[in-house]
Structures are given as structure tokens and as C-alpha cells.
């Protein structure tokens, strides 16, 4: 770590987020997935897709992420999206804010459609942030977004949509890794 000048040199990383029909990975389905792949040289590429869950999106879920049944009606099923996603993440470390939730949905969805589960490394940005900034009152994405005045790098993206949450998580990853790297020097 002594030779690391920039946080992304610790990668490659793929920051991802899912939006779902509910809270249970076993009983609910993914309706959106987004990711940013960050190479060791800092270059980034993006993946995002709505997903047709094959079921009705409950009103309480729509109230959170604002993804409607009409929006996903023509979207691909998870099998296609899952295959593309696994190719996109390649040999990187998967990172999510509250990784247990997102990874549970990813793994369950992969198994459900006959694709192999993710066996690579994973990281939870909440745990990383708690190491870098212990004692904050909340580590929710929206609270950290306000506390660290995160930028809207892609205008028009809204909170609780996968692409926006991924953009903010990448910014948090940079903040946390930079703080931790400074402590090591």
C-alpha cells in the first residue's frame, strides 16, 4: 500500500446497486441494476439496465425508487442482464453500499436463472466508511451524501435509482480510501 498514490490503484473495483420489488432476495425481484467499473488506472465504464421482474412492482417499492410496471414492461429479464453484468464486473472487487442486501439479490437472481453465483471479492462501502470516519450519526447513503456534499455528476439522476446511488457510492469510495491511505502514510 506504500506505493499507492490513488485509491483506484487498489482495484479494479465495480461499484453496483440494485433496485427491487421488496426487501426479500428470495421472494422479491430486481427491477434495476447499475454499476461503474473502475480500472487500476482510474478509467471508468458504466452499465445500467432496467429489469423486467416478471411480476407486479408493489406500490410501496414504486414510491421509493419510482420505477413503474410500465417502465419495466419492455425491459430484458434478469437472465440476460445477469449474464451481461457478470461479464462487465470481470475480475474486479464488487462494492456496494450495504453490500449484504445488493449481493443477496444478485446471488439469488443468478441462481434462479441458472447462472453461476459471484465468487469474487466483495466490499461494503459502509464498513469502509466506518473505518475512515468512525462515529458519524448515520452511514446511510443519503446522509453521507449530505454530510460530504456529494456532487450530482449526472444531472437528472434521482436518489434511490441504481445509477444515482452508484455515482454517489463511487464518490464515497474515493473519500474513504483517500482518508485511509493518508492515515497509512
Active-site residues, by number, are 160
Measured CA distances, 79 to 54, 100, 106 (Å): 12, 21, 11
Residues 6+ apart with CB under 8 A from 83: 115
CB 177 within 8 A of CB 131: no
Phi/psi zone of residue 42: left (φ > 0), alpha (ψ -120 to 50 degrees), beta?
Answer: left
CB 76 within 8 A of CB 85: no
3-state secondary structure (DSSP) of residue 36: strand
Amino acid at each position: 500500500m506504500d506505493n499507492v498514490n490513488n485509491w483506484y490503484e487498489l482495484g479494479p473495483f465495480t461499484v453496483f446497486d440494485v433496485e427491487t420489488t421488496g426487501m426479500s432476495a428470495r421472494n422479491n425481484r430486481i427491477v434495476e441494476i447499475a454499476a461503474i467499473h473502475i480500472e487500476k488506472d482510474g478509467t471508468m465504464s458504466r452499465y445500467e439496465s432496467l429489469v423486467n421482474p416478471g411480476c407486479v412492482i408493489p406500490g410501496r417499492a414504486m414510491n421509493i425508487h419510482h420505477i413503474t410496471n410500465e417502465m419495466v414492461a419492455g425491459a430484458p429479464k434478469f437472465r440476460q442482464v445477469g449474464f451481461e453484468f457478470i461479464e462487465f464486473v470481470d475480475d474486479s472487487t464488487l462494492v456496494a453500499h450495504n453490500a449484504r442486501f445488493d449481493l443477496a439479490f444478485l446471488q439469488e437472481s443468478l441462481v434462479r436463472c441458472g447462472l453461476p453465483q459471484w465468487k469474487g471479492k466483495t466490499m461494503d462501502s459502509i464498513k469502509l466508511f466506518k473505518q475512515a470516519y468512525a462515529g458519524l450519526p448515520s452511514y446511510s447513503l443519503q446522509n453521507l451524501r449530505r454530510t460530504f456534499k456529494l456532487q450530482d455528476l449526472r444531472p437528472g439522476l434521482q436518489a434511490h435509482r441504481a445509477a444515482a446511488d452508484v455515482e454517489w457510492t463511487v464518490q464515497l469510495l474515493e473519500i474513504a480510501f483517500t482518508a485511509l491511505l493518508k492515515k497509512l502514510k
